[in-house]
Amino acid sequence: MQIECEFPEKLEFLFQPARYKVARGGRGSGKSWGFARALLLLGVQNVERILCARELQKSIKQSVHQLLRDQIAALGLSHFYQVYESEIRGMNGTRFYFSGLSDQTADSIKSFEGCTKVWIEEGQSVSDRSWSILIPTIRTAGSEIWVTYNPELETDPTHQRFVARPPHDCVSILMNWRDNPWFPEVLERERQTCMQREPEAYKNIWDGECKPAVSGAIYYHEVAGAQGRICHVPYDPLLKVHVVVDLGWNDAMAISLVQRQSSELRVIEYLEDSHQTLDYYSALLKKKNMNWGKLFLPHDGRNKDFKTGKSAEEIMTALGWDVAITPSMSVEDGIRLTRMTFGRLWFDADKTARLIECVKRYRRVINQSTNEAGAPLHDEFSHGADNLRYICINAEAMSNEEWGGKLTYPKFTYA
């Protein structure tokens, strides 16, 4: 069957063999339209089993089902493809299936083992867990994994997997509105409006650049302005290393190592773990043989544990640490203080990568009825953000002197 159709030049690689085919970029690029059209054309030429997936799919409306249906009509292939509620079938045996990945297990995903192609739409949301389950399953000879997405964070698993550290036999391209020969006038007006009113957001929405933090992040603008201060920050043995702790057992225990030089707060290392005792963390830290200063515990560090009858303050003091308790401050006041302090913070890019990720993803609960932002969301990223808040609250108490308390100066007698 010979079919004549328009197709974006930048997506011609879709018709050449490669294990991974990835297109990222902003709105109006035509990448999803092009991927749908290419898969339909290939499904006419060969018998294909094609899984169309995304991380979350609660209903078929959240899939690319409608996009494929529209392209079938546009290509004049309605006589070849039969469109059903949850499946599309070709006359030659080609099949399109639709599924979410987040609910899949290593066993349940085996039903897709014979797929020849997988198209992952909105790939920026796919987790490492989903990739680790999906990729080994798609192993038919010559099988391919196709991915389209608009980047969010540079650290997102999909971006890291296919752009930052692409695997062998991977074609990965950036495709934006400029690459779409059929870019419509209605989108051009939207693009121009966005450029004028939201210049920062424009870079992500239309140019496909990664965001400095997730949309709605509490410290979005602070992180955006800190890019030059996320770098190599070495340990200075002449400065005290202060330990800032956010206590946790089932939740994460978050620990930052901070040095202060004049007004600078240098976060040189970040540790996060759970289900470990305080003596474990004490021993772990002391192995580093650093020039230790104070150890700052949160306000609940004085609460006695019902199992031991001792508080975290008593335990860490007995283990030889100079312990201080973080002053009590409301979360919102602490967030305001952190925003004011952020310009003084320097982060080691490698050793505090997890902390930086937490700060980028720290956001508020959104009321589903009113769409209004509420209190900060308690999730896997909130522990690191709480720890950063404690750093800023304790900043002025971080001294490089051998003694604690206020400095006193000797009185001089002049002859």
Domains defined for the chain, CATH in brackets: 9-197 (3.40.50.300), 222-397 (3.30.420.240)
Looking at 21-35, 65-79, 99-113, which range is the least confident one?
Answer: 99-113
Q: What is the pLDDT of residues 115-167, one digit of tens each?
A: 999 999 999 999 999 999 999 999 999 999 999 999 999 999 999 999 999 99
Band (pLDDT 50/70/90 cuts) for residue 1 is low
Mean pLDDT for 194-203 is: 93
Q: Is residue 411 scored above 50 in pLDDT?
A: no
Q: What pLDDT does 103 receive?
A: 85
Residue 60, Cα to own-chain centre: how many angstroms? 26
The whole-number average pLDDT for the span 261-289 is: 95
Residue type, 292: W
User: What is the rounded distance in angstroms from the CA atom of residue 301 to the CA atom of residue 80?
Assistant: 69
Neighbours of 276 (CB within 10 A): 12
**Sheet (strand 241-246) strand order:** 230-231, 345-348, 264-273, 253-261, 241-246, 292-297, 322-325
> Residues of the chain with pLDDT > 90: what percent?
82
pLDDT at 2: 64
Taking all residues of the chain, what is their mean pLDDT, rounded to a whole number? Answer: 92
3-state secondary structure 340-408: HHHHHEEEECCCCHHHHHHHHCCEEEECCCCCCEEEECCCCCHHHHHHHHHHHHCHHHCCCCCCCCCCC
User: What pLDDT shows up at residue 407?
Assistant: 35
Task: Tell me the DSSP string of 297-311.
Answer: EPGGGGSBPTTTS-B
Give the residue carrying structure tokens 């196709």. Answer: 146
**Nearest CA to 28 among 201, 171, 150, 163?**
150
Classified as helix, coil or strand, 175 is coil
State the average pLDDT over residues 225-236.
Answer: 95
pLDDT in tens, 39-83: 999 999 999 999 999 999 888 888 999 999 999 999 999 999 999
Per-residue pLDDT, 104: 86
Task: Give the C-alpha distances (Å, rounded to integers) separating 4 from 44, 66, 82, 381.
Answer: 13, 22, 20, 50
Lowest-pLDDT range, 26-40, 171-185, 360-374? 360-374
* pLDDT over threshold 80, residue 5: no
Residue 306 has pLDDT above 80, yes or no: no
Q: Which pTM was predicted? A: 0.81
Q: Is 80 exceeded by the pLDDT of residue 4?
A: no
Q: Using an 8 Å Cβ cutoff, are 356 and 230 in contact?
A: yes
